[in-house]
Structure 1
Amino acid sequence: MTDGIDYGNLMHRAMRGLIQQVLTDVAAEGLPGEHHFFITFDTGHPDVEIADWLSDRYPGEMTVVMQHWFDDLAVTDDGFAVTLNFGDAPERLYIPYDAIKTFVDPSVEFGLRFETQDDDGDDEDETPGRPVPKPVADPAEPGAVRGDAEVVSLDKFRK
């Protein structure tokens, strides 16, 4: 029995499910209209599978773009695999949802950001290093997506 509701974990699972559903639809139907994704992930996550030269080049995190050319998108309950083109060199990647730091679709100004929770010892039930979902990205932060897209708070759409 726990002392409370773990909203952080529930939000994480819900947003992971949202990403899974979007990618499942894209795998079946392709990207509609101008939709495209910037996906930043932790290359050091133990379940990430990328070529050695990519992990050497991006030792902490990497942002991939799914837009004009991607192939063989396979979506599972734990993550997704996709072949992307890196300078005319196709590479297969596997990205678990838990490794995702940001998921942004700038065509519709939508974005999710996941932050890693530090173990401060205040809650014994919290898992150190577990991503904590944040539906708002600060465009002033390094690595935030810039340009015409704006990552908005989900609160903007609540009545």
Structure 2
Amino acid sequence: MSGGIDYGNLMHRAMRGLIQNVLEDVRERGLPGEHHFFITFDTQHPDVEIADWLSDRYPGEMTVVLQHRFDNLEVTDDGFAVTLSFGEAPERLYIPYDSIKTFVDPSVEFGLRFETHEDEDEDDPTPPEDGPDGPGEGEAQHDAEVVRLDAFRKQ
């Protein structure tokens, strides 16, 4: 036996699957009650598809809100696409699950945060989003945890 059970990556995949299931339900039935989502993602992830002006404006990460004004939600095994309004201009975004950093539904005080161990490496002063290539294949170990909701509360 070459290694142990990688609970971090198993949890990471399970939580991404939870997001997929929630978004599939929203696509089919709409958002129930007061539910809405704050989704923060890495705009530099190689599979993210957003307009150039958005990636220029948000060079590291971006938070989108799925609440009142979103259209054409498509959910796949790898990510989701949605049309959001920025001002009065609609923009199509594709967000892979692997690019998601946080997923929060403040209406029920539920949240997830996804981190790699490189994000927590205090010996390296360079933030992960500033690295030219990000972590090499097989180097990143992922964790998922419940995120504190204080940052999303209205004052």
For the aligned pair, the TM-score class normalised by the smaller chain equals: 0.7 to 0.9
**Aligned match of 1:30:** 30
Q: 1:109 to 1:95 in 2, by over 3 A?
A: same
Conservation of the 8 A alpha-carbon contact between 2:43 and 2:61: yes
Q: Secondary structure at the match of 1:118?
A: helix
Taking the TM superposition and a 5 Å limit, the aligned residue runs for 1:22-61 are 22-61=22-61
Q: Secondary structure at the match of 2:8?
A: helix
**Aligned match of 1:5:** 5
Deviations 1:73-131 (A, max 9, x none): 000000000000100100000000000000000000000001122297xxxxx933454
Q: Secondary structure at the match of 1:4?
A: coil
Higher helix share: 2
Q: Structure 2: how far apart are the matches of 1:5 and 1:22?
A: 27
1:132 Cα offset (Å): 2.1
**Aligned match of 1:15:** 15
Aligned length: 139
**Aligned match of 2:89:** 89
Question: When the two structures are superposed, what TM-score results if normalisation uses the length of structure 1?
Answer: 0.81
**Aligned match of 1:128:** 139
Q: Structure 2: how far apart are the matches of 1:118 and 1:43?
A: 17
Conservation of the 8 A alpha-carbon contact between 1:98 and 1:131: no
Superposed CA RMSD in Å reads 1.9
Question: When the two structures are superposed, what TM-score results if normalisation uses the length of structure 2?
Answer: 0.83
Unaligned runs of 5+ in 1: 121-125, 149-159
Q: What is the identity percentage for the equivalent residue pairs of Structure 1 and Structure 2?
A: 77
Q: Structure 2: how far apart are the matches of 1:110 and 1:25?
A: 17
**Aligned match of 2:72:** 72
- With a CA cutoff of 8 Å and minimum separation of 6, indicate the structure with the bigger relative contact order: 2
1:3 Cα offset (Å): 1.6
